[in-house]
Amino acid sequence: MDRTKRAELARLRKIYAHTGSWYDLLDAPWEYFRYRKIRPLIWRRAGGAKNVLELGVGTGRNVEFYPSESRVTAIDLSEVMLKTAAARGVCAGREGFLCQASATDLPFRSASFDSAMATFLFCVLPNDLQPRALSEVARILRPGGKLVLIEYQYSEKLLRRALMKLMAPFVRWAYGAGFDRETARHLREGGWQIEEETFLSGDVLKLIVASPPG
């Protein structure tokens, strides 16, 4: 990985070192009014998968929706976020475990997971890091495995798009995220097959289900 990409990851670590401890408070309005309604959808797509990797577990908001039949391993770049996820019960009493790692360098054997899930990770990853992360996810998925994502994008509606552009500097400062990520394009260019691409809230919040190349 070149110096620029390493610097981008370092920037994200720094952001969450500061905001990780009050992330849940910062995110509370969106969590209550929007995210809680859609989080179960991503886990239904696990489809009985035995070994599941959650990329960017954050503070562990998805834990209550983990399928009972699945062994979930969860990673995050931020040590602060992982501590909150552990306190929330991620992997408690399960065979899976929490691991501090970047999606761009997954510390797992090839073909070791049936599914990979992420909520709002790829809108944090800059576009130039996404191909590497997707390549890593493809590597660790078994044949027939799926990647399931919920991500943001800019609205095509003029007023909503203008409001999102006004919010963009704050979103970048607080979350290291952007609405300009081109995850679907990176998937297609990387040889992934997109099986589902559905808007969940207006035309800004999208569910993507994809199978890896080959």
Task: Per-residue pLDDT tens, the chain, 214 aa: give them.
Answer: 788 888 989 999 999 998 888 999 999 998 999 999 999 988 888 777 899 999 999 999 999 899 888 899 999 999 999 999 999 988 776 667 899 999 999 999 999 999 999 999 999 999 999 999 999 999 999 999 999 999 999 999 999 999 999 999 999 999 999 999 999 999 999 999 999 999 998 899 999 999 999 8
pLDDT for res 46 = 76
In the prediction, which pLDDT does 118 show?
Answer: 97
Contact criterion met (CB below 8 Å) for 117 and 89: no
Give me the pLDDT at residue 4, please: 84
Structure tokens at 102: 């970047």
Chain mean position to CA 126: 12
At residue 94, the pLDDT reads 66
Please report which helix (H) or strand (E) contains residue 158, including its range.
Answer: helix 158-175
pTM score? 0.94
SS3 39: helix
Matching residue, tokens 């239904």: 44
Using CA atoms, how far apart are residues 89 and 101, in angstroms rounded to an integer? 19
